[in-house]
Amino acid sequence: MRWDDLYVAGVGSYLPARVETAAEAIADGRYTAERQSTNGYRSVHVAAPGETGPTMAAIAGRQAVARSGHAHEEFGLVLHSYIGHQGLDLWTPASYVQRETVGGTAAAFEIKQGCNGFMAALEVAASYVTSRPDVTAALLTGGDAFRMPYIDRWGSDEQTVEGDGAGALVLSTRAGFARVRATYSIGDSSLEPMGRGEDWSDTPFPNGETIGVAARKKTYLLAEDMDLEAAIDKISANVQFSLQQVLKEAEVELSDIRFFLHQNIAESIASYAIYGLLGVDRSTSTYDWGQGLGMVGTADPVIGLDHVIATRSPKPGDLAVLHGAGAGYVWTVAVLEFLETPDWGV
């Protein structure tokens, strides 16, 4: 979808102070040197006791709102995305984030689609704010704290390592430092079993067992009717098509892109699915920096955007791609055009 008069007015991020290294996890027997060599992660940030996804999202959200210059009453939508436990069950974390950031009477919703949640929220919010003349801005947040025994950040998945933190973005129809030129989403529900792979449960977190993401994948891959090559072909085709489509709608070429901001996936996956398959120049990404963060729930692309603003002096006319993918499977990609270098990045 090509957008007119849609802007990014502010971004924010929050990373907990404590850092845990892969070397420490290996020494403790919670990770292996072989996985570290293959996946590339150096370290992660670890939330303090009592620090949850929503509390960190609220910090990032307040930063994004302050940077946006928008008054609280201008916000007509709040969307919060996440992957893991948010600190309480049968609760509304999106409304908590709203209360702790902009308050008011705007609608507040959760957006969940695995690791693609934040990018999905961007696509949904774009449609919402541009179709309602009484809505000027939307606040998007994503936040997660991955804790045992629910999720083992170093062991639940054989490839991805999860880091704690949060990101936020203000989408506006009035003004901003960057224009949203286009967004595009595509899904393939035939791949949904890859993220399920086990029997149903009657309650959340049954028997207190750690979630086994790798075990679910293995169950899917060992199914008699499973064609691994066909699944890989589907994923590859949708990764390529989603990028091609958003570039087409934005009327730009991949060679025009200065910043390509994707998720902090494992080195082996990034090398194949981003740099090899798509032909992305690794130097345009924040991936090498992101290997010190792990995959921060749904928020990697916006945390990367905040990082390039702070460290790479984007100039008017510079283009950025924000790229997301999540189990289900759903892919969402956006193209932004910088109109100015934000004051907070100077």
Q: Give the pLDDT of residue 71.
A: 97
Could you tell me if residue 323 is inside a domain? yes
Does a structural domain hold residue 346?
no
Burial of 108 (0-12, 13-18, 19+ CB in 10 A): buried
Q: Are 12 and 64 in contact (CB under 8 A)?
A: yes
The verdict on residue 114 lying in a domain is: yes
**Can you give the three-state secondary structure of 171-200, one letter per residue?**
EECCCCCEEEEEEEEEECHHHHHHHCCCCC
Q: Which pTM value belongs to this model?
A: 0.93
Average pLDDT over every residue of 96-120? 96
Of the two residues 235 and 164, the one the predictor is more confident about is 164
In angstroms, what is the C-alpha Rg of the chain? 19
Residue 344 resides in a domain: no
- Please check the confidence at residue 243 and state whether its pLDDT lies above 70: yes
Count structural domains, the chain. 1
Tell me if 34 is assigned to some domain.
Answer: yes
Strand-pair partners of 187: 330
Confidence class for position 310, pLDDT limits 50, 70, 90: very high
pLDDT higher than 80, residue 172: yes
Are 265 and 323 spatial neighbours (Cβ–Cβ below 8 Å)? no
pLDDT at 197: 65
Six-digit token string for 57: 């999202």
Lowest-pLDDT range of 225-234, 237-246, 317-326: 225-234
Q: Is 137 exposed, middle or buried, given 0-12, 13-18 or 19+ CB atoms closer than 10 A?
A: buried
Residue 222 reports pLDDT greater than 60:
no
Angstrom distances, CA of residue 173 to CA of 3, 133, 179: 10, 9, 10
| Burial call 138-167: b when 16+ CB within 10 Å, e when fewer | bbbbbbbbbbeeebbbbbbbebbbbbbbbb
Summarize the confidence of residues 319-335 as an average pLDDT.
93
CATH number of the domain to which 173 belongs: 3.40.47.10
pLDDT score, position 343: 85
Does residue 149 have a cis bond before it (omega within 30 degrees)?
yes
User: What pLDDT is stored for residue 254 in this prediction?
Assistant: 97
Phi, psi (degrees; rounded to nearest 5) at 81: -120, 155
* Cis preceding linkage at 41, omega within 30: no
- What's the chain's average pLDDT? 92
List pLDDT tens digits, range 118-159: 999 999 999 999 999 999 999 999 999 999 888 899 988 888
Cβ-Cβ contacts under 8 Å for 56 (sequence gap 6 or more): 14, 16, 47, 143, 145, 164, 165, 166
> What is the residue range of 291's domain?
1-339
What torsion, rounded to 10 degrees, do the Cα atoms 229, 253, 280, 287 define? -120
**pLDDT above 80: residue 209:** no
User: Are the beta carbons of 165 and 303 closer than 8 angstroms?
Assistant: yes
Q: Residue 308's CB: how many other CB atoms inside 10 A?
A: 21
Pairing, β 43-46 against β 18-21: antiparallel
Q: Do the domain assignments include residue 11?
A: yes
pLDDT per residue as tens digits for the range 82-92:
999 999 988 99
> pLDDT category, 45, cuts 50, 70, 90?
very high
Where would I find the H helices in the chain? 22-27, 33-39, 53-68, 93-101, 117-131, 213-221, 228-250, 267-269, 287-290, 300-311
226: confidence class by pLDDT, cuts 50, 70, 90: low
Question: From the centroid of its chain, how far is CA 286?
Answer: 13
